[in-house]
Amino acid sequence: MKIWHKIIIFMICLSFLGRGGEVSALIKAFDVDVNGSVRTSYDDNVTSASTNEKDDFITTVLVGLGLKKTGKTYDLELTTNITEQLFWDNTDFNNNAQDVRLAVLKEFSKYDRVSFSNTFRHAEDPSSFEDAFGRTAGRYSFHRNSMNLQYSRDLSKQLGLLVGYDNEIYEVDRANSSDSFLNRVSVELDYFRSSATVFILAYYFSVRDLDPGTNSTVHSFVTGVRHYLTKQLYVDATTGLSLVEDFSGKTSTDPRIFLTLTDDIDENTSVSVSFQKEKFPNGYTEDVFDYWQLTARVRHQLVERMGVVFSGFYGDGDFDSLNIRDKLTGVSTRLNYDLTEHVSAYVDYAYSQTQSNVDARGYERNIITVGMNCSF
């Protein structure tokens, strides 16, 4: 474990470990949410391998705690989850994962506000199709710490300014991979033409440093709009150009497109579709990933206690220097039933397939899960 991981965990522990009276006072000062879950999954390819797949039954137990506090000029939220995975056959894959997120919003006046968030995650398996897209196949642990700091000011009734700084530290427990450090600054102007339409003009500058390795930079110039087509149907669209200097010093000009269409059809049904295209430095090898991806999500409440969620994903990307092209297709569906006000049960199925011009990177994976969640 790297020293900065120990520092984060130590600080978190200090915030909770103290005299009994201090802990009691802390709990009384915050709204406290306690949640937990237990699930059993059948995974037919636990290592995401192209050949000699290993299947297994996996029992996962999660315990989580959330603290929230809202004041006149601020909001504060801290959530943490600890997850234990137990493999029935491949016991050497047993692992413990941790998630911690801190979010703060502070208003200094009716015109000025600052938001801060920090998310730490340690796990062995990607948590979404987006995380799996472009990732080297196999089972290996990673640590990711993402921080975001943003200042916003209302310059007038129709004009707003946002200035931001993002930092990401990404470490992979894999011999042939590098650790990486991402720093990004952003400046955005928002023009509120009406309550239904907002125009956006933004500039982003990013630097990705690899250890060991060199660095890659990206300058992005973006314009966009958020527009409500109806009261429940709205579109977010940004487009622009990125000047990408890769790890070898070669510079290219590439399109940058983000598009999201959301329709809250009624209180029981919502649909969202997103398209994203950009070229960005990879987080664990000296290469840039030129990709596009399409995601879709449908949520529908069948009856009062039963709902279903469907998700779909397709991504196509190229690693320029390595001459690798990956395509990932993923679908998942979940049927959820509320047993009581605090307890729900669900059945989940997920399928993913990676196709690549490098045979060792391609794989198929099916996961069937039965689980139960509770929150208090």
Close Cβ partners of 117 (under 8 Å, ≥ 6 residues apart): 101, 102, 103, 104, 147, 148
pLDDT of residue 136: 84
Cβ of 194: how many Cβ atoms within 10 Å?
Answer: 9
Close Cβ partners of 204 (under 8 Å, ≥ 6 residues apart): 184, 185, 186, 218, 219, 220, 222
CA–CA gap between residue 118 and residue 71 (Å, rounded): 20
Report, in angstroms and rounded to the nearest whole number, the Rg of the chain calculated over CA atoms: 22
Picking from 120, 105, 101, the residue whose alpha carbon sits closest to that of residue 71 is: 105
Close Cβ partners of 109 (under 8 Å, ≥ 6 residues apart): none
Say how far residue 44 (Cα) sits from the centre of its chain: 25
The fold of the 3-375 domain, in CATH, is Porin (2.40.160)
Q: DSSP string covering 288-356, please?
A: EEEEEEEEEEEEEE-SSSEEEEEEEEEEEEEETTTTEEEEEEEEEEEEEEESSSSEEEEEEEEEEEEEE
Residue 259 tokens, joined: 């598009």
pLDDT of residue 263: 93
Backbone φ and ψ of 312, nearest 5°? -135, 150
Element spanning 249, H or E: none
pTM for the whole thing? 0.87
CA–CA gap between residue 369 and residue 336 (Å, rounded): 12
Beta bridge partners of 198: 192, 226
Q: Render each residue's pLDDT in the chain as its tens digit; 376 residues.
A: 454 444 444 444 444 444 445 545 555 678 899 999 999 999 999 999 999 999 999 999 999 999 999 999 999 999 999 999 999 999 999 999 999 999 999 999 999 999 999 999 999 988 899 999 998 888 889 999 999 999 999 999 999 999 999 999 999 988 778 899 999 999 999 999 998 999 999 999 999 999 988 999 999 999 999 999 888 889 999 999 999 999 999 999 999 999 999 999 888 999 999 999 999 999 888 999 999 999 999 999 999 999 999 999 999 999 988 899 999 999 999 999 999 999 999 999 999 999 999 999 999 999 999 999 999 8
Query: β-pairing, 233-245 with 215-228?
Result: antiparallel
Query: β-pairing, 197-211 with 215-228?
Result: antiparallel
- Give the domain ranges of the chain: 3-375
Backbone φ and ψ of 158, nearest 5°? -110, -5
Residue 70 tokens, joined: 């809202």
Residue 302 tokens, joined: 């069948």
174-179, long-range: CB within 8 Å, 24+ apart, which pairs?
Answer: 174/136, 174/138, 174/140, 174/284, 177/136, 177/284, 177/285, 178/210, 178/211, 178/212, 178/213, 178/284, 178/285, 178/286, 179/210, 179/211, 179/284
CA–CA gap between residue 170 and residue 180 (Å, rounded): 5
Residue 190 tokens, joined: 């928002």
Sign (positive/negative) of CA torsion 123, 127, 130, 136? positive
pLDDT of residue 27: 57
Q: Is 54 exposed, middle or buried (0-12, 13-18, 19+ CB in 10 A)?
A: middle
CA–CA gap between residue 198 and residue 186 (Å, rounded): 18
Q: How far is CA 119 from CA 12, 179, 182, in A?
A: 12, 17, 14
User: Can you tell me whether residue 197 is helix, strand or coil?
Assistant: strand
Alpha helices, DSSP H only, in the chain?
Answer: 3-16, 20-29, 129-132
Say how far residue 118 (Cα) sits from the centre of its chain: 12
